[in-house]
């Protein structure tokens, strides 16, 4: 099972994958979505890199074409690949007789608390792929926050990783870079809610105004990305 699982991962076009033991997150999953996701003992976190130069280009925050290209790249191109990968993995797990629920890469279902169907960062963190930074982004060891995620919740008996250690240290570059003042500067804590470190409403409202003034119209989705751009863990292109 484990080696076949690895083959599916190798062929599905993702850059990162990890298996999370969800037991530390069960209460939070219950609170967010009832038993639908809390019943799963594990989740597979799938990560796809965002193109380095596309992130670099949004440092020029006023360039309309680059802003549009960034939004297209992350929401249409990268998310599509993640959703296809999650579908492939779900098919494999179901064929083996296990439950599998693919959670799409980007999905806000509640504009009251800006939450999605089920969390991606919890699974990515518990699987060992990275930690939740001051930006509330998942910061990976390999590519910093320049990665997007999809998640497949499952009961398959896959080998789980260990949660990754937080390596933000005294850095606050994302806090300084955020034009909306959306981050409190506090470090992420497992026993506290996201509001402790990040205000999604402030981020969203900034982006709504920004898109209107820059693009002259409402555009679905999109973040300004300066928190992703500023993080030193993603700032260097690692050549093979």
The reply to whether 114 sits near ligand SF4 by the rule CB under 6 A is: no
Give the binding-site size for ligand SF4 (rule: CB under 6 A).
25
The reply to whether 133 sits near ligand SF4 by the rule CB under 6 A is: yes
For residues 85 and 175, which CB has a smaller minimum distance to ligand SF4 in the complex? 175
Sole binder of ligand SF4 in the list 30, 106, 206, 219 (CB under 6 A):
206
Sole binder of ligand SF4 in the list 135, 140, 151, 154 (CB under 6 A):
135
d(CA 39, CA 36): 6
Sole binder of ligand SF4 in the list 81, 168, 197, 211 (CB under 6 A):
168
For residues 15 and 172, which CB has a smaller minimum distance to ligand SF4 in the complex? 172
For every residue of the chain, which 3-state class applies, written as one string?
CHHHHHHHHHHCCCCEEEEEECHHHHHHHHHHHCHHHHCCCEEEEEEEECCHHHHHHCCCCCCHHHHHHHHHHHHHHHHHHHHHHHHHHHHHHHHCCCCEEEECCCCCCECCCCECCCCCHHHHHHHCCEEECCCCCEEECCCECCEEEEEEEECCCCCCCCCCCCCCCCCCHHHHHCCCCCECCCCCCCCCCHHHCECHHHHHHHHHHHHHHHHCCCCCCCCCCHHHHHCCCCCCCCCC
Sole binder of ligand SF4 in the list 139, 147, 152, 164 (CB under 6 A):
139
The reply to whether 141 sits near ligand SF4 by the rule CB under 6 A is: no
The residue range among 93-101, 105-113, 154-162, 167-175 that interacts with ligand SF4, by the rule CB under 6 A, is 167-175
Residue nearest to ligand SF4 as judged by C-beta position: 133
Closest distance to ligand SF4 from the beta carbon of 93 (Å) = 32
Instruction: Evaluate whether 232 touches 144 at the Cβ level (below 8 Å).
Output: yes
For residues 179 and 221, which CB has a smaller minimum distance to ligand SF4 in the complex? 179
What x-and-dash track marks residues 214-233 binding ligand SF4 by CB under 6 A?
---------xxxxx--xxxx
Sole binder of ligand SF4 in the list 171, 214, 215, 219 (CB under 6 A):
171
Residues with Cβ < 8 Å from 121, sequence gap 6 or more? 132, 136, 137, 138, 149
The reply to whether 203 sits near ligand SF4 by the rule CB under 6 A is: yes
The reply to whether 138 sits near ligand SF4 by the rule CB under 6 A is: no
Cα atoms in the Cβ-side hemisphere of radius 13 Å centred on 112? 0
Binding site for ligand SF4 (CB under 6 A): 133-135, 139, 168, 171-174, 177-180, 182, 203, 206, 223-227, 230-233
């Amino acid at each position: 099972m484990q080696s076949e699982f690895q083959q599916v991962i190798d062929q599905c076009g993702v850059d990162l994958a990890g298996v999370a033991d969800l037991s530390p997150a069960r209460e939070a999953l219950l609170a967010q979505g009832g038993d639908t996701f809390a019943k799963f003992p594990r989740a597979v976190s799938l990560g796809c890199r965002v193109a380095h130069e596309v992130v670099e280009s949004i440092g020029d925050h006023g360039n309309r074409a680059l802003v549009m290209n960034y939004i297209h790249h992350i929401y249409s191109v990268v998310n599509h690949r993640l959703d296809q990968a999650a579908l492939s993995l779900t098919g494999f797990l179901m064929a083996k007789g296990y439950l599998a629920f693919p959670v799409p890469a980007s999905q806000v279902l509640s504009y009251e608390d800006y939450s999605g169907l089920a969390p991606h960062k919890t699974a990515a963190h518990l699987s060992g792929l990275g930690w939740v930074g001051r930006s509330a982004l998942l910061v990976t060891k390999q590519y910093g926050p320049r990665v997007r995620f999809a998640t497949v919740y499952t009961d398959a008996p896959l080998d789980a990783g260990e949660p990754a250690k937080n390596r933000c240290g005294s850095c606050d570059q994302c806090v300084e870079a955020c034009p909306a003042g959306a981050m409190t500067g506090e470090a992420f804590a497992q026993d506290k809610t996201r509001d402790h470190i990040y205000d999604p409403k402030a981020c969203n409202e900034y982006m709504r105004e920004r898109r209107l003034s820059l693009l002259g119209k409402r555009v679905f989705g999109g973040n300004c990305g300066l928190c992703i751009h500023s993080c030193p863990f993603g700032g260097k292109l690692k050549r093979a």
